[in-house]
Amino acid sequence: MLRGFFIIAAYLCLTGGFVAAVVDGARSIGAGAVSLTYAEDVLRPRLPGLPALLDKISPWLWDPVMVQIMRVPLGLLLGLVGVVVLLMIRRKPGYDRFAGLE
């Protein structure tokens, strides 16, 4: 059951990444220049207490780590998260669901 939740979440991330890439592409065509939506543009207004929370946990967690993650385009970030989750939960080759039942 938990595996099913992660599959749905991964495909939602992939879908969100594709939609963000299409929106960025349409905006870039309309503007005549490359226009990207960064993760910071979306996450900072929705999670205003995130820097303070991560700074309390560990000072290095916010500044070098999350600042760099926030500078990634949203479509790329969501796509990477979706692919990584799908790769983590895939079944290994040779896995037999009903072992011993033939």
**pTM, to two decimals:** 0.82
pLDDT tops 70 at residue 102: no
**Alpha-carbon span 80 to 78, nearest angstrom:** 5
34-38, 64-68, 79-83: the lowest-pLDDT one: 64-68
pLDDT tops 90 at residue 65: no
Phi-psi bin for 58: left (phi > 0), alpha (psi -120 to 50), beta?
beta
Which among 39, 34, 45 is positioned nearest to 71, based on CA atoms?
Answer: 39
Residues contacting 29, CB < 8 A, separation 6+: none
Residues contacting 36, CB < 8 A, separation 6+: 24, 28, 73, 74
